[in-house]
Chains A and B, each alone.
Chain A
Amino acid sequence: MRRRGSRRVAVIGAGLSRFVRRALETGKELSYYAASQALESAGVRRRDVEAVVMASAPDAFDGQHMKGEYLLDGAGGYRKPYFRVYVGGGSGVFSIISGWTLVASGMFDLVLVVAEEKMSPTQPHPQAAFITIFDHTIERPLGPNLLWIFALEQTRYMQTYGIRNEEIALVSVKNKRNALGHPASQVAEAVTVEQVLASEVVAWPVHRLMVSPVSDGAAAIVLASERVARRLSPRPVWVEGIGWSLDTSYWGNRDLAYPRYVEQAARMAYAMAGITDPRREIHVVEPYDPFAYKELHHLEGLLLADRGKAAEDLVRGRFDRDGELPSTPSGGLLGVGNPIAAAGLMKVCEIFWQLRGEAGPRQVPNNPRRGVAQAWGDLMQIGTVVVLGV
């Protein structure tokens, strides 16, 4: 992908609903809550917004066909250009990418981006809805679910690099502890590696506390062109790079030990941001962590750790909030919760707050100036990456 000159785009506001197991609010209401908060924090009104981007993962969760249409008034899209973008679990971080194109193109100056997910309507458990993501002929007859295939991927990752489950459990410990400082968190707790490994095995080697919960929630941000951002915001956070990449549908043919699509997405975003040495030039990172091993897997794909070495870095504290490269200071999906698309945009919100120095008890030290948020989705297939900077 080549890049010609683009307009600069800034994030000027962010909002988040609480992440909960079963929200009494409808998806429209969750969207409204997050969108209102983002608008308020940016100091703008709905009527100032020129266009709205919505992200939400499968319609099967809500049992709502054309879910984007259903959510549109709650998200503020009434009588505006509004559309829903969709790359499975990667949707949350993709939503800011799509929003960036709206502003960078020169078509709009002020755009609202909303991500919503309501998984709780699926009874008895949303895992059942995931059967419908698999190939109808080759895979569905096997009755797979996501715990299954991610257990396969984790096994492959551990086997290839000789990683122990104790090291992977440490990701849960770190993220759930980080989430104790997050007001929206659903499953923050102080746990030990022993407790993680003592929790029920859901699909070996994955233990219950290595899996993010089922969640309802919404997140939103406000994007502005440079001209508008400088007028409205004392501290705009710039979108410096975007990248995404989708691998083949035939995931059974791929080596699951390494997420090459995440690397591809990261390289695209880093090139746009002018980053040549990501480990020195990135100060805080929010990699996607729906499962504990995924954070390590993604840090490697993001070129922020050597292949197979992220676990060692974790053990020596490199990814702690006060470590060399703070990773998932929000608490992530493992700690804050995982309303899929909203969880991805929550990571973008976290980087926004971290770079503005507004993350409160979660603030990482040394005034970070550049951060990366990443999400992942489909059949272990897509990476979405955004680089933000001040």
Chain B
Amino acid sequence: MDNLVAIAGIGLTPLRPVSPDLSFRELVFEAATRAYADAGVDPRDVDGVVTVAEDLHEGTSITDEYTPDQLGAVLKPVQTVAGDGLQGLAAACLLIRSGAADVVVVEAHSKASNVLEHEEVLAIALDPLYERPWGLDPHAVAALEMRRYLHEAGVPERAVAEVVVANRRRALRNPFAAYGADLTVEQVLTDTMVADPLRAAMMSQTADGAVVLVLAAPETARALRGRPVMVRGIGWASDEPSLSGRPWAEATYAHLAAAMAYRDAGLRAPGGQVDLFEVDDTYAHKQLQHLEAALGLPPGGALREGAALAAADRVNASGGHLGMGYGYDASALMRVAVTALQVRGEAGPMQLPGVRTAVVLSWRGVPTTTGGAVVLSAA
């Protein structure tokens, strides 16, 4: 049983705040065309397809009805994962690792600009009996968590603002990013208060885009045109879904997912062996929490042990969700795409030197406690 899966082709559309000229199918078609060309794969040779989508983000029930045509996947084994981008990647890897398939496509997209009131959609993700009656704005859940995290970790608000400034600035070098900007810490700390202590600039902004990855068994990938990047290990986990029962300062799901991915990859000391961490930063404080999970550190550890990594641009070189834009569950897969480009040395202006092993760590956003982790490495 070979545990490795190769990313043989990468197709990503640049993220944009709005895309009035394209339907989601056209966005996906563009990403798919790029991925197939990159891999040198004819869609007829694809054995299976995994799409990542949630009905209420799409505005369509049973949204997998609308997935096959634009991927060239009519009458193929196509499935949806109503989950995180990395869970979709995991489902695709499992198809290959189980021996059921040799070439699998994983797709995710965001047409967030079609969602008029994202907060109202998120609010009905809360428990209908115990949590919805409060009339809570879902961003307030993130603010509560941020407050608790800052308190327990001993992290000042300024450190959160610094995450925003660094990520938005790095995004200026990322050709796929929608929200590159040159901000100051003071600008972030004086931006509109959404729910104390969370300010508007500390939240990622939505963007439209699509991502398609062609995965293949390693021996199959070697025969293809593209330069393969190996998925060495993958993990995903969920914690307590209710607001009342979950830990607030620590992202337990992320610790579990990272530990699983490292175990799968046979990676003992991620701090020393990983050249780049791309961790979820849907809200700026989450980057600190998630970096702690990726490094196996307690709350507050990101600022102490993780600071050197961040200073060397080894954390969220892409600019993260804050810089690239937030595309719901597609976000994680988009981060995998840019990270795989880093491993290939093809990341253009954002390329870091010597990225041989990289980790992507994801989260499904409020109010969930679900995330994933993947270890990528050069072939």
Contacts of B54 in A (CB 8 A): 59, 65-66
Stretch at the interface among A100-108, A207-215, A356-364: A100-108
Cβ of A143 < 8 Å from any Cβ of B? no
CA distance A101 to B91 in the complex (A): 8
Q: Which chain A residues (193-245) contact chain B, with CB distance < 8 Å?
A: 242-245
Per-position contact with B for A79-94: 1 when CB-CB < 8 Å, else 0? 1111111111100001
Contact indicator per residue, chain A 145-168, by CB within 8 Å of chain B (1) or not (0): 000000000000000000000000
Q: Does A381 contact B (CB under 8 A)?
A: yes
Interface pair A82/B80, CB less than 8 Å apart: no
Interface size class of A (residues with CB under 8 A): 35 or more
User: Does A370 reach chain B (CB closer than 8 Å)?
Assistant: no
A4 proximal to B (CB < 8 A):
yes
A184-192, A247-255, A277-285 - interface stretch? A247-255
- In contact, B82 and A81 (Cβ under 8 angstroms): no
Nearest-Cβ distance from residue B340 to partner chain A, whole angstroms: 21
In the complex, which residue of chain A has the Cβ closest to the Cβ of B23?
Answer: A137
Q: How far is the CA of A106 from the CA of B102 in the complex (A)?
A: 16
Q: A60 to B61, alpha carbons, bound, how many Å?
A: 7
A63 contacts partner chain B, Cβ-Cβ < 8 Å:
yes
Pairwise interchain contact A1-B64, C-beta atoms closer than 8 A:
no
- Contact of A45 with B by CB under 8 A: no
Q: Does B38 belong to the interface (CB within 8 Å)?
A: no
Would you give the 0/1 interface string for B263-287, flagging 1 where the beta carbon is closer than 8 Å to chain A? 0100000000000000000000000
Q: Which of B62, B84, B98, B129 contacts A133 (CB 8 A)?
A: B62
B341 shortest CB reach to chain A, Å = 26
Query: Cβ of B97 < 8 Å from any Cβ of A?
Result: yes
Once the chains bind, are A2 and B65 in contact (CB under 8 Å)? no
Q: Which of B117-125, B182-190, B347-355 contacts A (4 or more CB under 8 A)?
A: B117-125
Contact of A83 among B87, B124, B240 (CB under 8 A): B87
Using a Cβ cutoff of 8 Å, how many contacts connect chains A and B? 210
Within the complex, the shortest CB–CB distance from B106 to chain A, in Å, comes to 13
A82-B237, A105-B98, A132-B60 known; A69 and B76 CB under 8 Å?
Answer: no
Choose among B62, B79, B93, B235 the residue that contacts A94 (Cβ–Cβ < 8 A): B79
Q: How far is the CA of A67 from the CA of B57 in the complex (A)?
A: 12
Which of A66, A70, A246 interacts with B67 by CB under 8 Å? A246
The residues of A that contact B93 with a CB separation of less than 8 Å are: 105
Cβ B100 vs Cβ A101 within 8 A: yes
For residue A3, CB closer than 8 A to chain B, the reply is: yes
Residue of A58, A69, A72 with most chain B CB atoms under a 10 A cut-off: A69
B77 touches A6 (CB 8 A): no
A256 to B275 alpha-carbon distance, docked (Å): 54
The stretch from A36-44, A260-268, A347-355 touching chain B is A260-268
B73 at the interface (CB under 8 A from A): yes
Check B192 for interface membership: any CB of A closer than 8 A.
no
* Residue A130 at the chain B interface, CB threshold 8 Å: yes
Residues of B224-281 at the interface with A, using a CB-CB cut-off of 8 Å, are: 235-242, 252-253, 256-257, 260, 264
Task: Tell me whether A34 is interfacial, beta carbon within 8 Å.
Answer: no
Query: Is the pair B122, A7 in contact by a Cβ cutoff of 8 Å?
Result: no
> In the assembly, what is the distance between CA of A73 and CA of B68, in Å?
32
Answer yes or no: A257 CB below 8 A from chain B CBs. Answer: no
Contacts of B238 in A (CB 8 A): 69, 72, 77-82
Minimal beta-carbon separation of A108 from chain B (angstroms): 10
Q: In the bound complex, do residue B364 and residue A69 qualify as a contact, i.e. CB atoms below 8 Å apart? A: yes
Complex alpha-carbon distance, A113 and B59, angstroms: 27
Verify B99–A6 contact, CB threshold 8 A: yes
Checking A60, A70, A86 against B241 with a beta-carbon cut-off of 8 angstroms, the contacting residue is A70
| Complex-state Cα separation, A69 to B242, whole angstroms | 10
A interface footprint on B336-379 (CB within 8 Å = 1, 0 otherwise): 00000000000000000000000000001001111000000000
Interface residues of B in 90-107 (CB under 8 A from A): 90-91, 93-95, 97-102
* A68 sits at the interface (CB 8 A): yes
Query: Which residues on A sit within 8 Å (CB–CB) of B367?
Result: 69
- Chain A residues near B74 (CB-CB < 8 A): 246-248
B66 within 8 A of A: yes
With both chains docked as a complex, state the minimum distance between the C-beta of B249 and any C-beta of chain A, in angstroms. Answer: 17
Q: Which residues of B contact A172 (CB under 8 A)?
A: none
Q: What is the bound-complex CA distance between A132 and B79, given in angstroms?
A: 19
Q: Closest Cβ of chain A: how far from B338's Cβ, in Å?
A: 23
Q: Within the assembled complex, what's the spacing in Å between the Cα atoms of A100 and B99?
A: 11
Interface pair A133/B65, CB less than 8 Å apart: yes
Contact of A245 (CB < 8 Å), options: B55, B75, B235, B364: B75
- Inter-subunit contact A66/B364 (CB<8 Å): yes
A64 B128 Cβ-Cβ under 8 A: yes
B128 touches A73 (CB 8 A): no
Q: Does A5 belong to the interface (CB within 8 Å)?
A: yes
- A98 contacts partner chain B, Cβ-Cβ < 8 Å: yes
Residue of B nearest to A84 (CB): B82
Query: Is B69 interfacial (CB-CB < 8 Å)?
Result: yes
Residue of A nearest to B96 (CB): A105
A105 CB contact (under 8 Å) in B1, B59, B68: B1
* Chain A residues near B67 (CB-CB < 8 A): 246, 249
- Contact of B3 with A by CB under 8 A: yes
Is the pair A2, B102 in contact by a Cβ cutoff of 8 Å? Answer: yes
Closest to A94 in B: B79
Q: Is the CB of B98 within 8 A of A104?
A: yes
- Which of A132, A135, A250 has its CB near the most chain B CB atoms (within 10 A)? A132
| Contacting pair B125 A64 (CB below 8 A) | yes
Report the minimal beta-carbon distance from A263 to chain B, rounded to whole angstroms: 10
- Cα distance A379–B122 in the bound complex, in angstroms: 27
B47 at the interface (CB under 8 A from A): yes
B97 to chain A, nearest CB (A): 4
Whether, in the assembled complex, A377 has its beta carbon less than 8 Å from a beta carbon of chain B, the answer is yes
A367 proximal to B (CB < 8 A): no
The answer on a CB contact under 8 Å between A85 and B68 is no
Complex CA gap A242/B102 in Å reads 16
Within 8 A of A (CB), among B106-145: 121-122, 124-125, 127-129
CA distance A243 to B47 in the complex (A): 11
Chain B contacts of A85 at CB under 8 A? Answer: 79-82, 91
A283 to B55, CA, bound (A): 38
- Residue B298, interface by CB 8 Å: no
CB-CB under 8 A from B260, the residues of chain A are 81
Whether B94 pairs with A107 at a CB distance below 8 angstroms is yes
- Alpha-carbon distance A79/B240, docked complex (angstroms): 7
B124–A377 CB distance below 8 A: no
Q: Considering only CB atoms, which chain B residue lies closest to A67 in the complex?
A: B82
Tell me whether A69 and B370 are in contact (CB under 8 A). Answer: yes
Beyond contacts A81-B236, A136-B60: 10 other A-B pairs, Cβ-Cβ < 8 A, are A4-B99, A59-B56, A65-B121, A66-B364, A82-B238, A86-B80, A86-B81, A101-B94, A104-B98, A250-B69
23 contacts between A and B (CB under 8 A): A1-B100, A2-B102, A4-B217, A6-B100, A62-B128, A65-B122, A78-B240, A80-B237, A80-B238, A81-B237, A84-B81, A85-B81, A87-B80, A94-B79, A105-B94, A106-B98, A242-B100, A246-B67, A246-B73, A246-B75, A246-B78, A248-B68, A268-B77
